[in-house]
Structures are given as structure tokens and as C-alpha cells.
Amino acid sequence: MITLKPLERLEKKYSFREKELFNNGSSGKIYFDKGDIIKIPYDFSTGILLNSTGAQKKAFNEAKMQEFAIEMGLKFPEVYGVFAIKEEESGKYYPGFAMRYVKGQTHSSLEGALREKVEMQRKAELNKARDLGFIFNDVNTGNVMWCPEEEQTYLLDCEFWGYRTELI
């Protein structure tokens, strides 16, 4: 279970080098360690990684939302928890969450028939999410991954997802 704790009390499991960025989103920097993906909140305008209380809450919120979405039956990469993650050069710790690495390609990089197939899976997954009462903005093609080994489409990035609170 994911429990919100101060940075000093989060488990120290992963480390990364800031320069060795795996991918850059609009709100999280993505790193790769021990075969897993780690996502650390950062300030988009300055590019600076964040270790504030707000950043801890942000990492926690997204991890929790992703865990909940999986629990409800949606296809997101499995979440391993929120950790204090060490930047190796500075020795500083940052809050972030770890999840399973989905070996594949984003929807945006696909072409032809495969793109059509993944597009259908994306729509089906989002219809399911809507029926379950989740609220999401446009889930763009950079937030959809195709894993050829599993023949499976995964959603990523539920940072801005919410859910309806009225009865459904």
C-alpha cells in the first residue's frame, strides 16, 4: 500500500543521474533504474527537479491514482511505490514513484495498421474508464504505449485524472 510520508521516511531504493534522462514529460522527468521506471516531479518552466512538500504530495497523488485505476481494471503500468530517490552526483534525494517499465513504443510513433489497432484499444480503454466514472482530459498519443511482446496497449500519465463523485 502507498502511504504518504515525509521524504526522510520514504524508502531509499532507487538512484539516478540527472543527466541520464530517459524521457521528459511536461510535469515529470522519467529515469530508469533497476529495470524500473521512476517519475520525479519537476518545474516545467525552469527544468528543476523538485523536493518540496508539494512535490512529495504530487508524486503520491499520481502513484495513488494510477494504483486505483489499475485496481478498477484499467491498463496502466504496475506501481511499485513512492520512494526517496537519490541523485548520484549531488547526493540529494527527490520524491518520485516507481512503476513497471513497459517495453514498447508510444502511440505517437506508430504508423499504418498497427496505429489503427492501438487507436482502437486506446478508445476502448478510455470508454471503460469513462464508464467506471473516471474523468480525464484528452489522453494524447504520447500517453499511450504499445507493448509488442504482450500485444497490449497501456495508458500512462494519470496525473490530471479525477473521478465523478455522484452515484453512477
Q: In 1-14, which positions are buried (b, 16+ CB within 10 angstroms) versus exposed (e)? A: ebeeeebeebeebb
The contact set with ligand ADP (CB under 6 A) reads 23, 25-28, 30, 37, 39, 77, 99-102, 106, 142-143, 145, 156-157, 159
Stretch of residues binding Mg ion (CB under 5 A), selected from 20-28, 63-71, 115-123, 130-138: 20-28
Pick what 7 binds: ligand ADP, Mg ion, none; C-beta below 5 to 8 Å, kind-dependent.
none
Pick what 102 binds: Mg ion, ligand ADP, none; C-beta below 5 to 8 Å, kind-dependent.
ligand ADP
Site string for Mg ion, 25-54 (x = CB under 5 A): x-----------------------------
> Comparing C-alpha atoms, which of 163, 158, 161, 153 is closest to residue 25?
158
Give SS3 for 140. coil
Q: 51 or 143: whose CB is closer to Mg ion?
A: 143
Q: 6 or 135: whose CB is closer to ligand ADP?
A: 135
Sheet of 152-155: strand order equals 105-106, 144-147, 152-155
Sheet of 36-41: strand order equals 12-16, 79-87, 93-100, 36-41, 28-33, 23-24
Q: Does 157 bind Mg ion (CB under 5 A)?
A: yes
